[in-house]
Structure 1
Amino acid sequence: MESRQRSPTPLLKTCRTCAHAKIKCDRTQDSGVCDRCLRLGKECTYAIARGRRPPGPRSRSNKLLQIPERPAPSVTESPSASESITSDQSRTPPQPASSSGTAGDQQQPRPSLAGLGASSHDPFEAGQLSLDKGQELLDRFRTKLTPHFPFIIIADSHGVRDLRQTRPALCLALLAAASYDDVRLQRALGQMFNEFVAARLVAGDFTCLDILQGLLVHLAW
């Protein structure tokens, strides 16, 4: 029998030395040594080239990756959803449109200062102090406290009788600040001021100059 001629083992085109140095491997000589290894006197060996795998059946993971995505159902494809939305809308009764006249009638009038400042929020009617004592505290606020905090200045023409009617919040705050020599009275007036501000806040009549000035005095002293 004739011996079969074996084909030479395929080798890589780049030797191990040039591949390690990441340099182009040129072989212009007829010998099996590349030009660089021949010039440097190094050992020139070539690794065996790996053969390509024959095309085989795809793996299960590749098949899973190639599964086409299902398109999202459109509105036209789900008539049941549209029917349920329509039925829910039909069950909800329509809200009547309110006219401008009706909205205006529903608005409640803002409470007056005198109404909120009387009885429980008036220290004079509650018996906490007399008008003469209140005038004394007002004068003390002008002479002793105002120079240290000249942001709220009460004119000399305004007495405690006028101030309790026009500026009840400011009146309570300055009376509490000026009664520093009587701790019990100061605490009672401070508590009354807090209740007055809370009542105004609940009533919706909170944004006014009287409340602002009263808070400034109350926080400062």
Structure 2
Amino acid sequence: MLEEITEAGMKIKESTDLSLFVRTSGENIVSWEIERIIDSLIRETGLERKIAQIIALEVEKEIVSSKVKNLTAPLIREIVNSKLIEFGLEQERRKYTRLGLPLYDVRNIIFNPNKENANIPHNPEATNLTLAEQIKKEFALLEVFSPEISDAHLRGDLHLHDLGFIDRPYCSGQSLEYVKKFGLHLPNALSIAKPARHPETLLAHMVKFSA
């Protein structure tokens, strides 16, 4: 292992620039830099730099040998994940995973009405909600719940309701007395107001509070 680490460091120092360009998730095209992979692995998975160097070099060799013409950030991440699995780094692979949907599924969501729920209209706002909800579901199963709970949900042993709304309160009961005493002053609220002095103002506060 020490020989591999030393060799990896030497290869990175001696490597010549590759004539490769990457289409990034930030909607631009940049030249290939192996250091981007190394820094990304360290930042997202916590790998030691020397191990990240070995993985990055393996990824670079794979890309060069494949002679891929359209190199994208998602493709690079897929290759990195395959190398992490090869090296037995399953936990790091889990941290490095990419959330999202295949092109085929996104196309179906955009062009075809939702047949599972007739109450949802087929329009841009609805497709935005469906796409965002899917990513939040994946996030919840990976980050919020334990692997045991997530697996139980996927097997059907239990049901985790509204996973796509994991960052919202499911249900809450509020007292009018709070609004009367403190007005509208909630964290991250767009509307802020002092306690109402008139009934019609209090009614307006109630509407805002429950929105």
TM-score (ref. length: structure 1) = 0.22
Q: With CA pairs under 8 Å and 6+ residues apart, which has the higher RCO, 1 or 2?
A: 1
